[in-house]
């Protein structure tokens, strides 16, 4: 329904466009109403001109929308825009970050396959792998994120996927994406990178050799803590498999959420840079405080993988953690003494958040497992938001004063 002049203006000049231009304009398809901002198509199905057209559409002989579990124009615009930003052939939007991971595993793995998983990943991802994937005969093996020899040694003829998040949560450990992609490809496996913490603004895993990128759009892509969503990106032939699972099983993205994420992408780079700037300043300030034993942030020269972070990321992200004196009691006293920062485990919001990983996100781990993963009792995680920097620091100063 797009008229020629509208389609021409929208698409022909974007081939060499820069990141910021793609973030604002990629994927838009105007309707005959000539709306300037992207429309929200809240419709579950689409109509056909004739019974014959309907039959041809259902038979896949005719392109076009059939049902919103399959395709939706607003969702497609989001997919095309995120694909442009990640440099991916194709993007598939999902109902949440978790359903993006589920769709990847369900569409690409079978009973008897093996997945190598970084030890440092999101808690719900661990549950998905251990409780559900394992139940259906997929073997899960955990590997230390930065131990390349261990990744290599864990590969077998049945290894299908290597799965990492980088930087990790909450300790900001990095996966060497280039090296892991070589190990994966040597084993005829695919490297999957959850790029939620960096977004394409700070890191482009596909350009570093990864095969699949996963997003929880819930975090920085939304950026204001409103909607749940996710995405899987990669080569068209792989994404065809993922689409096949999603349109059958149903965890697809709602058009309203897609629209919120589209608006989020338009300001993503500006927001990420502001998040990173405050996080860097805060990490450096925390490192100088005598009550703080250690700060975990890849932007610090003291971080053991600072050089790798500089090579594969263009910024260090906005999630940092630090250890205070006094174990759990100390950490809780610190958190309870803050007045502005939100006590919540979410991240990627304009609002700064604070959490005690040992008793929340990592609370289900046994004490020795927590110790092994470096999640000490005095550890506090802060996801730095977009409030005035001085106010964030002043609030954390209240926490320090309470120790
Ligand atoms: C939040 C998160 C997820 C899960 O995303 P949802 O949108 O909450 O389902 C996956 N990976 C990482 C790194 C996350 O932070």
Residue 365, domain CATH: 3.90.1150.10
- Pocket flag, ligand 1, residue 358 (CB < 6 Å): no
Query: Which is higher by pLDDT, 60 or 244?
Result: 244
Domain end position, chosen among 204, 236, 266: 266
Q: What are 63's two structure tokens?
A: 């392109």
pLDDT for residue 12 is more than 90: no
Atom of ligand 1 nearest to the CA of 125: 10
Q: Both 224 and 296 in a single domain?
A: no
Average pLDDT over residues 289-308: 97
Domain count, the chain: 2
Distance (Å, whole) CA 229 – CA 94: 6
Distance (Å, whole) CA 100 – CA 83: 15
pLDDT for residue 1 is more than 70: no
Nearest CA to ligand 1 atom 4: 97
User: What rounded mean pLDDT belongs to the chain?
Assistant: 94
Query: Which is higher by pLDDT, 8 or 133?
Result: 133
Distance (Å, whole) CA 90 – CA 81: 10
Q: Are 272 and 94 in contact (CB under 8 A)?
A: no
Q: Both 224 and 299 in a single domain?
A: no
Q: What are 162's two structure tokens?
A: 């290597």
Among the listed ranges 180-194, 316-330, 365-379, which one has the minimum average pLDDT value? Answer: 365-379
Q: Both 294 and 314 in a single domain?
A: yes
* Residue 296 exposed, middle or buried by CB count within 10 Å (0-12, 13-18, 19+): buried
Q: pLDDT category, 4, cuts 50, 70, 90? A: low
Q: Best mutation site among 104, 119, 124, 362 for ligand 1, i.e. most ligand atoms within 8 A of its Cβ?
A: 124
Beta bridge partners of 92: 232
- Pocket flag, ligand 1, residue 122 (CB < 6 Å): yes
Q: Both 299 and 233 in a single domain?
A: no
- Pocket flag, ligand 1, residue 214 (CB < 6 Å): no
- Pocket flag, ligand 1, residue 41 (CB < 6 Å): no
Atom of ligand 1 nearest to the CA of 348: 15
Kindly report the pTM of this predicted structure: 0.95
Give the Å distance between the CA of 321 and the centre of ligand 1: 18
Q: Both 233 and 302 in a single domain?
A: no
Give the Å distance between the CA of 199 and the centre of ligand 1: 12
**Ramachandran class of 27: left when φ > 0, alpha when ψ lies in -120 to 50, beta otherwise:** left
Q: Both 248 and 296 in a single domain?
A: no
Q: Both 228 and 306 in a single domain?
A: no
Average pLDDT over residues 333-341: 98
Average pLDDT over residues 308-325: 97
Average pLDDT over residues 196-207: 98
- Among the listed residues 98, 135, 308, 347, the one whose alpha carbon sits nearest the alpha carbon of residue 208: 308
Q: What is the CATH number of the domain that holds 18?
A: 3.40.640.10
| Domain containing residue 320 | 269-402
Do β-strands 139-143 and 159-165 pair in parallel, antiparallel, or remain unpaired? Answer: unpaired
Q: pLDDT category, 398, cuts 50, 70, 90? A: very high
Beta-carbon contacts of 111 under 8 Å, excluding residues fewer than 6 positions away, are 136, 137, 138
pLDDT of residue 117: 97
Give the Å distance between the CA of 98 and the centre of ligand 1: 6
Q: Both 319 and 331 in a single domain?
A: yes
Q: Both 210 and 119 in a single domain?
A: yes
Atom of ligand 1 nearest to the CA of 217: 7
Q: Is the dihedral of CA 128, 130, 132, 134 positive or negative?
A: positive
Domain end position, chosen among 235, 266, 297: 266
Q: Both 232 and 252 in a single domain?
A: yes
CA angle 94, 245, 216 (to 5 degrees): 20
Q: Is the dihedral of CA 265, 271, 275, 276 positive or negative?
A: positive
Q: Both 108 and 121 in a single domain?
A: yes
User: Which stretches of 61-210 are assigned E, i.e. beta strand?
Assistant: 90-94, 114-118, 139-143, 159-165, 190-194
Q: What are 285's two structure tokens?
A: 């300030």
Domain end position, chosen among 266, 286, 315: 266
Beta bridge partners of 389: none
- Among the listed residues 85, 70, 69, the one whose alpha carbon sits nearest the alpha carbon of residue 264: 85
Greatest alpha-carbon span in the chain = 75
- Pocket flag, ligand 1, residue 317 (CB < 6 Å): no
pLDDT in tens, 48-105: 999 999 999 989 899 999 999 999 999 999 999 999 999 999 999 999 999 999 999 9
- Pocket flag, ligand 1, residue 383 (CB < 6 Å): no
Burial call 78-102: b when 16+ CB within 10 Å, e when fewer: bbbbbbbbbebebbbbbbbbbbbbb
Find the helix or strand (DSSP H, E) in which 4 lies.
helix 4-11
Q: Both 232 and 106 in a single domain?
A: yes
Average pLDDT over residues 6-23: 75
- Pocket flag, ligand 1, residue 56 (CB < 6 Å): no
Average pLDDT over residues 9-29: 83
Q: pLDDT category, 15, cuts 50, 70, 90? A: confident
Determine phi and psi for 114, rounding to 5 degrees: -125, 145
pLDDT of residue 371: 81
Give the Å distance between the CA of 218 and the centre of ligand 1: 7
- Pocket flag, ligand 1, residue 222 (CB < 6 Å): no
Q: What percent of the chain has pLDDT over 70?
A: 97
Long-range contacts of 356-364 (CB under 8 A, 24+ apart): 356/328, 356/331, 356/332, 356/380, 356/381, 357/170, 357/321, 357/381, 358/328, 358/331, 359/328, 359/332, 361/123, 361/169, 361/170, 362/123, 362/170, 364/123
pLDDT of residue 372: 78
Average pLDDT over residues 334-358: 96
pLDDT for residue 403 is more than 70: yes
Distance (Å, whole) CA 345 – CA 360: 8
pLDDT of residue 13: 65
Distance (Å, whole) CA 76 – CA 166: 27
Distance (Å, whole) CA 278 – CA 261: 23
Distance (Å, whole) CA 130 – CA 139: 9
Q: Best mutation site among 195, 216, 220 for ligand 1, i.e. most ligand atoms within 8 A of its Cβ?
A: 216
Q: pLDDT category, 308, cuts 50, 70, 90? A: very high
pLDDT for residue 151 is more than 90: yes
């Amino acid at each position: 329904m797009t008229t020629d002049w509208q389609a021409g203006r929208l698409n022909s000049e974007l081939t060499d466009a820069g990141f910021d231009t793609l973030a604002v304009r990629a994927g838009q398809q105007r309707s005959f109403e000539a709306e300037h901002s992207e429309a929200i198509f809240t419709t579950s199905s689409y109509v056909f001109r004739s019974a014959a057209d309907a039959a041809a559409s259902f038979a896949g002989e005719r392109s076009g929308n059939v049902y919103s579990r399959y395709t939706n124009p607003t969702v497609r615009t989001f997919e095309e825009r995120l694909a442009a930003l990640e440099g991916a052939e194709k993007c598939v939007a999902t109902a949440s970050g978790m359903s993006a991971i589920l769709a990847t595993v369900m569409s690409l793995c079978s009973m008897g396959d093996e997945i190598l998983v970084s030890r440092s990943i999101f808690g719900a991802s661990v549950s998905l792998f251990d409780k559900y994937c394992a139940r259906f005969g997929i073997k899960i093996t955990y590997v230390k994120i930065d131990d390349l020899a261990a990744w290599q040694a864990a590969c077998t003829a049945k290894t299908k996927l290597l799965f990492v998040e980088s930087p990790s949560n909450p300790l900001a450990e990095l996966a060497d994406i280039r090296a892991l992609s070589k190990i994966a490809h040597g084993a005829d496996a695919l490297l999957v990178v959850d790029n939620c913490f960096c977004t394409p603004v700070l890191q482009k895993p596909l350009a570093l050799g990864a095969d699949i990128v996963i997003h929880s759009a819930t975090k920085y892509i939304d950026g204001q803590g409103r909607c749940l969503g996710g995405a899987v990106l990669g080569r068209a032939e792989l994404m065809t498999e993922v689409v096949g699972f999603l349109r059958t099983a149903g965890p697809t993205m709602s058009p309203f959420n897609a629209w919120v994420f589209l608006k989020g992408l338009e300001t993503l780079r500006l927001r990420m840079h502001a998040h990173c700037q405050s996080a860097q300043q805060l990490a450096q300030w925390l490192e100088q405080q005598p009550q703080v034993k250690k700060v975990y942030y890849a932007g610090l020269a003291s971080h053991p993988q600072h050089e790798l972070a500089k090579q594969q990321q263009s910024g260090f992200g906005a999630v940092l953690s630090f250890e205070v004196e006094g174990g759990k009691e100390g950490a809780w006293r610190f958190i309870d003494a803050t007045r502005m920062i939100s006590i919540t485990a979410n991240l990627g919001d304009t609002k700064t958040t604070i959490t005690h990983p040992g008793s929340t996100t990592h609370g289900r781990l046994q004490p020795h497992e927590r110790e092994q993963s470096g999640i000490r009792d005095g550890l506090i995680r802060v996801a730095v938001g977009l409030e005035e920097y001085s106010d964030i620091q002043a609030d954390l100063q209240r926490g320090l004063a309470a120790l």
